[in-house]
Amino acid sequence: NKRKILNSERIVGLMKKTVLITGSSRGIGRATAEVFAKNHYNIIINYLHSEKDAFSLASSLEEQGHRVMVYRADIAKRDQVEAMVEKSLSTFQTIDVLINNAGIAQQKLFMDITEDDWNRMLNIHVKGMFYCCQCVLPGMIRRKEGKIINVSSIWGMTGASCEVHYSTAKAAVIGFTKALAKELGPSNIQVNCVAPGIIETDMNDLLNEKERSSLLEETPLLRFGTPTDVANAVFFLASTKADFLTGQVLSPNGGFVI
Ligand code: NAD
């Protein structure tokens, strides 16, 4: 009987949809994994450095009865992305939703940005997204179904001083999203992006107190966002409620950019 129950749980698990979230051991990616798990998705947690966080998230989701796979891959390396997608497909059969979330931040005066800084920023945000999409898309195109959500930033829309490389990368995410949405529309694949405002994650540790209070003053809702605020917007874009939305930028930013 126990075996029967385990088997039927396994079958239900196989019938569930699967989401791959890059950079999901912490911050926005982690909250997104939690929201998708609550909504009965199988979860693929990708991480690069924070192994402990990735496995603690996985065990907490597994304790709640969810199916989870953890995979270490640098998304800026094509071979590592290919191996991650291959392993994901052999575990879960399909990847129904891809969330390109992994990213880094750096504040530097424009004239101090080195070529290495520039390449690292563009490789992670733009090339990483390119690799992940190229590896995941064949299955989505075959099934004529899929959702891709890319994580941009308000700075990709408005530009941030001392973050020219970051702003460039995040603007590229928006252009990429719009162009890919046009190409994949006939395959019934929706490609959208979220452009979060200031969100309380480790990424914003680089802001000093003065910067934080002036950013807060400019935010009509008078608070910074939580990772879950962004995760909810991402989940909406992945849901059937957003089936007629593609090529769009949804910006959870507390009114910072209107
Ligand atoms: P975070 O630093 O907590 O999380 C980013 C994650 O990406 C980390 O786990 C990191 O290890 C991972 N990562 C970095 N490079 C990687 C690589 N090469 N391969 C695999 N994983 C890698 O920051 P966050 O705030 O949760 O950021 C998530 C996304 O949201 C980023 O794309 C970021 O640019 C974007 N964003 C954040 C904010 C904010 O205010 N926090 C605002 C707008 C957009």
pLDDT in tens, 59-86: 999 999 999 999 999 999 999 999 999 9
The domain segmentation of the chain, as residue ranges, is: 2-250
Record the pTM.
0.95
User: What's at 17, amino acid-wise?
Assistant: K
Provide the percentage of residues in the chain whose pLDDT is more than 70. 95
18 lines ligand 1 (CB under 6 A): no
pLDDT value, residue 12: 55
Strands 42-47, 249-250: parallel, antiparallel or unpaired by DSSP? unpaired
Locate the ligand 1 atom nearest the alpha carbon of residue 24 and give its number: 9
- Closest listed residue to residue 193, CA positions, set 226, 242, 159, 256: 242
| pLDDT single digits (tens) 164-184 | 999 999 999 999 999 999 999
CB 23 less than 6 A from any atom of ligand 1? yes
* Mean pLDDT, all residues of the chain: 95
2-250 folds as Rossmann fold (3.40.50)
Active-site residue, 166 included: yes
Cβ atoms 160, 215 nearer than 8 A: no
Q: For the chain, how big is the Rg over CA atoms in Å? A: 18
pLDDT reported for residue 187: 98
Orientation of helix 164-184 relative to helix 128-143, angle to 10°:
10
Here the tokens at position 133 are 């999409």
Q: pLDDT tens across 126-154, in order?
A: 999 999 999 999 999 999 999 999 999 99
Q: What is the ipTM of this complex?
A: 0.99
Atom of ligand 1 minimally distant from the CA of 102: 7
In this structure, are residues 170 and 155 in contact, taking their beta carbons and an 8 Å threshold? yes
Classified as helix, coil or strand, 70 is: strand
Q: Which of 41, 71, 131, 166 is catalytic?
A: 166
Q: Tell me if 202 CB under 6 Å of ligand 1.
A: yes
8-state DSSP, 127: I
CB 72 within 8 A of CB 47: yes
Q: How far is the CA of 233 from the centre of ligand 1 (A)?
A: 16
